[in-house]
Amino acid sequence: MIRPVAMTIAGSDSGGGAGLQADLKTFTSLGVFGTVIVTGLTAQNTYSVTKVLEVPPEFIEAQFDAVMADLKPKYAKTGMLSSSKIIDAVRKKVVEYNISLVLDPVMVAKSGAPLVTEDTVNALKELIKNSLIITPNKYEAEKLAEMKIIDITSLKEATRKIYDSFKVNVVVKGGSSLNGLDYAIIDGKEIELKGEPINTKNTHGSGDVFSASLTAYLAKGEKLENALLKAKEYVTLAIKYSLDLGKGHGPVDPFVPADIIIQRENARQEIEKLLWEFERDPSLLLQVLDENGKANVAYMTDYGDVATLAGGVIKYLDKIKIDGPILLNIKNEISEKAKQFNKKVLLSISITKKLLEASEKGLIKISESGINSDVIISEGKVYLVGDSISDIINKLRRMREL
Ligand SMILES: Cc1ncc(CO)c(N)n1
């Protein structure tokens, strides 16, 4: 297996949501092997930073030497660099090994606690000159541009000011107050990165995931502008499906973009499992299909993606015919119903004698609301619902045993 290698130069977050932990999770989710230069340890959770322990600069240098002698990443990102001595050590090694640097000028945690001492700002300005791109948030950009950012106009102005004074590619993250809008300048080209309004307090680690995904995409060979657009999409998903953990700002989830793909594939496989069962044992389905019976199945992932059969399952004589393929997010009746009733699995069936018998004997509950029922009747159509494919198969088996 070939994996691109990247590096994070960052601090540890004991809470696991930010810092080098967020970076490594992001690298891994993107198929990039992560190496780590630990700059410090924080005793931290979702609402506070109680202690910061700095790694001695000599030890930071030793970590660089060990990694660069062996694994040789070309791209690195920075996270918490809590003192000017640490920043100087990082700069020395980044220059020595000619590493392309994504500099995330981390200054405060989401909890509001500072992660760096005041004297770091000047050292950071030096490191900026050795960076490929810097990724300040609104607050950090205000410090670098020495102006307030209150709207889109001032966001653009601050971005231009940073680009002109530091001669470095820059993306300024507007944050939730600007509906997730970011503004970038790359090699003189101005780029607007549209966000979307996401109403959540759970954004711990969002900046780290953004700069880590940007670094991962660069390590995978993307051009800077493309890597930036992809990183924006990546972090947007990580925030959209962030985790409501802890008492403060819950962590964003860098595994989400990978999980979306995994769950889509799983939806296909689950539908295949049901279809194999029907082919092996057609009466399981035939008992709930009338003369002109036609069935389809919908499987919805945790992210609202719905897999269904393009054609459905058709009954002819005592056999069934599967009219595939299994497709994702096509607009058909059953996929709309899956969303409307927010059910994991829907199987469209007919009202048959067997179904009525099962209902009379209390084996299945029929309703129009879909609440606590096994069968929903909606707009003249009938759907067997379940939490999983096995759940559907079990219901059909129990019905047949009546
Ligand atoms: C260690 C560490 N690095 C970065 C951040 C910023 O998210 C944080 N909260 N903690």
Interval 347-362: pLDDT, tens: 999 999 999 999 999 9
> What's the average model confidence in pLDDT over 61-82?
97
- CA atoms 340, 342, 345, 351: torsion sign: negative
* Residues 168, 175: Cα–Cα separation, whole Å: 21
- CA atoms 349, 355, 356, 362: torsion sign: negative
Is the per-residue pLDDT at 118 higher than 80?
Answer: no
Nearest to 7 by CA among 77, 87, 108, 102: 77
Helices (H) and strands (E) in the chain, counts: 13, 18
> What's the average model confidence in pLDDT over 253-267?
98
SS3 state of residue 43: strand
* Residues 107, 116: Cα–Cα separation, whole Å: 6
Residue 94 phi, psi (nearest 5): -65, -40
Q: Look at residue 32 in the predicted model and tell me its pLDDT.
A: 98
**Which residues, 6 or more positions from 215, have their beta carbon under 8 angstroms from its beta carbon?**
6, 7, 8, 27, 75, 76, 77, 102
Nearest to 81 by CA among 27, 117, 29: 117
Report the predicted TM-score, pTM, of the whole model to 2 decimal places: 0.93
Greater pLDDT, 117 or 331: 331
Location of structure tokens 């502008």: 225
> Mean of the per-residue pLDDT values for the chain?
95
* Structure confidence by residue, pLDDT tens digits, 284-329: 999 999 988 899 999 999 999 999 999 999 988 888 999 989 999 9
The CA distances from residue 206 to 211, 242, 292, 312, 336, in Å, are 9, 9, 53, 42, 33
Q: Look at residue 139 in the predicted model and tell me its pLDDT.
A: 92
Q: Which of 44, 80, 110 to mutate to test the pocket of ligand 1 (most atoms within 8 A of CB)?
A: 80
* Structure confidence by residue, pLDDT tens digits, 41-55: 999 999 999 999 999
Q: How far is the CA of 348 from the centre of ligand 1 (A)?
A: 49
Task: Please state the ipTM of this predicted complex.
Answer: 0.99
Residues having CB closer than 6 A to ligand 1 are 10-13, 18-19, 42, 44, 79-80, 106, 109, 115, 205, 207-208
> What's the average model confidence in pLDDT over 142-147?
93
Residue type, 257: P
SS3 state of residue 299: strand
Neighbouring C-alpha atoms within 13 Å toward the C-beta of 54: 14
- CA atoms 65, 71, 72, 74: torsion sign: negative
Question: Across the strands, what pairs with 12?
Answer: 41
Q: Look at residue 279 in the predicted model and tell me its pLDDT.
A: 94
Q: Look at residue 324 in the predicted model and tell me its pLDDT.
A: 85
Strand segments (E) across 24-134: 33-44, 49-54, 75-78, 100-103, 133-134
Q: Look at residue 245 in the predicted model and tell me its pLDDT.
A: 98
Using CA positions, which residue lies closest to atom 3 of ligand 1?
A: 19
